Amino acid sequence: KQEVTQIPAALSVPEGENLVLNCSFTDSAIYNLQWFRQDPGKGLTSLLLIQSSQREQTSGRLNASLDKSSGRSTLYIAASQPGDSATYLCAAHNTGKLIFGQGTTLQVKP
């Protein structure tokens, strides 16, 4: 059974800092891994999807990497801004389902 873990659970950084969010999964037979952002009380916004055959994906200040062999993915956020404050969720996609981690709540202080 797939289990997804995100560390840390919460993170507070000053504006402008580069940061890395971590995601690990127990079953490496994933088809893809997706990163989402969720603002309080809102739905999920898809940020990046990495196919199992890919190593990384980039979108603007975001870069996500995937290492299937070690069961890890990271989300790198460059030059963080207060508007980046949100909960970031990773989800592993296998057997037709998304299995979510518990999320990392990020606060970027001005």
Partner 1 sequence: DTEVTQTPKHLVMGMTNKKSLKCEQHMGHRAMYWYKQKAKKPPELMFVYSYEKLSINESVPSRFSPECPNSSLLNLHLHALQPEDSALYLCASSQDEDFRTQYFGPGTRLLVL
52 Ramachandran zone, left/alpha/beta (phi>0; psi -120 to 50)? alpha
Strand 104-109 relative to strand 10-14, pairing: parallel
> Does residue 103 bind partner 1 (CB under 8 A)?
yes
Binding mask 41-80 for partner 1 (x = CB under 8 A): xxxxxx--x-------------------------------
Asked if 31 is part of the footprint of partner 1 (rule: CB under 8 A), the reply reads yes
Q: Does residue number 28 form part of the binding site for partner 1 (CB under 8 A)?
A: no
Question: Whole-angstrom distance between the N-terminal and C-terminal Cα of the chain?
Answer: 41
Q: Would you tell me which residues interact with partner 1 (CB under 8 A)?
A: 31-32, 34, 36, 41-46, 49, 89, 91, 93-94, 96-98, 100-103
